[in-house]
Amino acid sequence: MRVVVDLDRCGGHGVCQAEAPAVFRVVDDPGGYAHVEVLLERPPEELREQAKTAERCCPNRVIAIVED
Amino acid sequence: MSTTDFDAVDYFRAAFLYPNPYPYYEYLRKHGPVWREPHRGVVMVTGYPEAVSVYRDTERFSNCNAVAGPFAAWPVPLEGDDVSDVIERHRDGLAFSDQLPTFDPPKHTAHRGLLARLITPKRLKENEEFMWRLADRQIDEILDRGECDFVAEFANPFTSLVVADLLGVPEGDREEFRQEFRSRKRRDHHPAGGTEEGMVAHKPLEFLYERFTRYVEERRRDPREDVMTGLATATFPDGSLPAVHEVALIAANLFTAGQETTVRLLGAMFQRIGERPDLQEVLRRERERIPSFVEETLRLETPLQSTFRLSRVPVTIGDLPFPAGTTVMLLPAAANRDPREFPHPDEFRLDRPNGRQHLAFGHAVHSCAGAPLARAEARVATERLLDRMRDIRISEKAHGPAGARRYEYLRTYMIRGLEYLQLDFTPA
């Protein structure tokens, strides 16, 4: 499982961080806009459910959990 | 007011509570994080994790009644173990049924995807450059007087013109937009949940809808190199072109949803700046704390106090079971003061480690599309106002002396905020 995010469309809402804090963190740009940072690009199996919830709940739908 | 007194209160008709609903929320919380109030049978969710679990669950909960809430007029009873069919047949008759917050997936996913294409991070950054210029222009108009109604003379025109720029309203038309928003008198506000009786108005702001219909038609006929053309030709995520009225509605929705709420946020921020010279001083000295100030104000003075859901099937919220067809009121304003999530929840603290985890913008797929916009507006406005005004104070003439202030709030249970805020200041 691999985490892919589309930063061009990320609004920095922080939903992913709330759902899967070990996988995602929201960081502030110098200009003040927040965006997601992936902490674990290949999260362990026990975080699968959290990561999938983050994918599903992202309001801008910028997260993809890819199986490879 | 004592607990027993609250027992007799139908919250949805209790306009006297709306200026300060927090004691009532604590009364609700005493019954547990999830409690069915007895007057209308609405399930009130004041707990943070319980609210998050409902926000997250778009399968079992519908947003069809997000605005209408207990006033949703269903022509047939909501009976049985799955009310999805009744919802689909009759949802168009509910208040604000043509607006994004009341959509469910997959329609919501498509329209939200379209909206996300209109407010990309790139577009937001261009928009911020405009915000700095606009803030100065609005300040120019009031600076020499040393006093202003901050709501009508700064927050209202500022927020509406920011959205106008974001959506690419042509320069030549902006004065008209400005007048349109400015001419709205204090008493003319009827936001969602907004009449004296707590009822909701249907399809507001015809002006915007009409305007954006025309813009979209013109740009589709005659594309130009401008932002409005981008709006007119933006497609759904599946590549299909939306109908003209669908684009016009999304644009109008961005105004109504983003303007009213952001005005109340700015009002709450500058009320606190005026009330707390010590805080004002901290923010002047340590500008990097302004974003935390914005977040903590959103948590404590949440503009959008509540939103509704309807259970499609039997559900469990917290530990409690409820049947299909239950009206659920999510109270982000109350969840933001859940002591399990925010220790000493009533205290204003700039240094909360989880200060950004409030639910003022909601959570999951329906969370506020304009959140990054609102955050930028609040930050830019605060920076420029602090730069150009010294010693910002609450007007005693308008609001009374410290310790005995009088503030008027909107008379609605869904949106909480100041009707007006008279400030005194010294030009810098």
- Full DSSP string of B20-89: S-HHHHHHHHHT-SEEE-TTT--EEE--HHHHHHHHH-TTTEE-TTTTTGGG---SS---SS--HHHHHH
B-chain residues near A13 (CB < 8 A): 361, 367-368, 371-372
CB contact under 8 A, A18 and B363: yes
Burial A36-65 (b: 16+ CB within 10 A, else e): bebeeeebeeebeebbebbbbbbbbbbbeb
Is 70 exceeded by the pLDDT of residue B409? yes
> What one-letter code names the amino acid at B344?
H
For B241-255, B275-289, B342-356, B361-375, which range has the lowest pLDDT when averaged over its residues?
B241-255
Residue with tokens 């409902």: B54
Is 70 exceeded by the pLDDT of residue B3? no
Quote the CA–CA distance of B371 and A14 in Å, as a whole number: 10
Q: What is the average pLDDT value for chain B, to the nearest integer?
A: 92
Mean pLDDT of B183-188: 45
Residues paired with B62 in a beta bridge: B310
Residue of B nearest to A10 (CA): B121
- Taking the CA of residue A11 and the nearest CA in chain B, the distance in Å comes to 6
Q: CB of B426 within 8 A of CB of B390? A: yes
The DSSP 8-state label assigned to residue B229 in this structure reads: H
pLDDT at A31: 64
Phi and psi angles of residue B59, each rounded to the nearest 5 degrees, phi first = -80, -45
CB contact under 8 A, B375 and A32: yes
pLDDT at B83: 98
pLDDT digits (tens, 9 = 90+) for B366-407: 999 999 999 999 999 999 999 999 999 999 999 999 999 999
Mean pLDDT of B271-278: 98
Is 90 exceeded by the pLDDT of residue B186? no
Q: Is B119 on the interface with A (CB under 8 A)?
A: yes
> What one-letter code names the amino acid at B332?
P
Residue of B nearest to A14 (CA): B357
DSSP per-residue letters across B339-400: TTTSSSTTS--TT-TTTT--STT-SGGGS-TTHHHHHHHHHHHHHHHHHHEEEEEE-HHHH-
Mean pLDDT of B75-96: 96
Question: How does residue B199 score in pLDDT terms, banded at 50, 70 and 90?
Answer: very low
- Taking the CA of residue B281 and the nearest CA in chain A, the distance in Å comes to 21
A-chain residues near B365 (CB < 8 A): 56-59
Quote the CA–CA distance of A5 and A12 in Å, as a whole number: 12
pLDDT digits (tens, 9 = 90+) for A10-67: 999 999 999 999 999 999 876 668 899 999 999 999 999 999 999 999 999 999 999 9
Q: Is B121 on the interface with A (CB under 8 A)?
A: yes
> What one-letter code names the amino acid at B349?
R
pLDDT at B92: 96
Residue B367: which of A10, A13, A28 has the nearest Cβ?
Answer: A13
pLDDT at B48: 98
Question: How does residue B313 score in pLDDT terms, banded at 50, 70 and 90?
Answer: very high
Is 50 exceeded by the pLDDT of residue B189? no
Question: How does residue B351 score in pLDDT terms, banded at 50, 70 and 90?
Answer: very high
pLDDT digits (tens, 9 = 90+) for B143-178: 999 999 999 999 999 998 999 999 999 989 988 887
Q: Please tell me whether residue B179 adopts helix, strand or coil conformation.
A: helix
What is the pTM (predicted TM-score) of this model?
0.93
Interhelix angle B371-388/B290-300, nearest 10 degrees: 120
Question: What's the number of CA atoms in the CB half-sphere (13 Å) around residue B14?
Answer: 15
- Chain A positions contacting chain B at CB under 8 Å are 7-15, 18-19, 26, 28, 31-35, 53, 56-61
